[in-house]
Amino acid sequence: MTDDSPRPFASDAAIRDLGEGLLACALPRSAWTHEAHLAATLYLALERPEIDLERDLPGIIRAFNESVGGVNDDTQGYHETITQVFLRGVRLHIAATGTTIGLADCVNALLVDEKGRRDWPLRFYTKERLFSSAARREFVAPDRAPLPKVD
């Protein structure tokens, strides 16, 4: 396994604990990996429908970052465009896989899918645009290709 290989989740319970830990700001900073971002978002999308993710996920992530001593500014911490792009990827994945498989199976399938790759947003954005301060602060439209629509 290389450093870029996704780390799969062993159980549905581990993902639920991760998602609830995010909401409660009760995770160690080291647990907040790329895989954890995707797993928590997929869990919230499937099992916490009362949360409007497009609206509420930014505040949830910002609060978590601050709870572990992080800073949300123009160069570090929360990134609006990346969050919204990966949220779109999660929603596309759910639409494609349905809800008939277990949570861990669904998350692990996302982690090996192109939509779960760390560099997936770069299909739609140049590095300069995606990693700009403006894209960190607010959602910016892609400059390479349109984002896929969720049905």
pLDDT at 101 over 90: no
Question: What is the DSSP code string of 2-56?
Answer: -TTS----S-HHHHHHHHHHHHTT-S-GGG--HHHHHHHHHHHHHH-TTS-HHHH
pLDDT at 100 over 90: no
Note the pLDDT of residue 3. 60
Q: Spell out the domain ranges in the chain.
A: 12-137
pLDDT at 140 over 50: yes
pTM strictly above 0.85: yes
Mean pLDDT of 111-125: 97
Question: What is the DSSP code string of 62-96?
Answer: HHHHHHTT---SSSSS--HHHHHHHHHHHHHHHHH
On average, the pLDDT of the chain sits at 95
Mean pLDDT of 121-149: 98
Q: Tokens representing 78?
A: 């929360």
Q: What percent of the chain has pLDDT over 70?
A: 98
Question: Closest Cα partner for 106 from 30, 58, 41, 31?
Answer: 41
Rounded-to-integer distance, Cα 66 and Cα 77, Å:
9
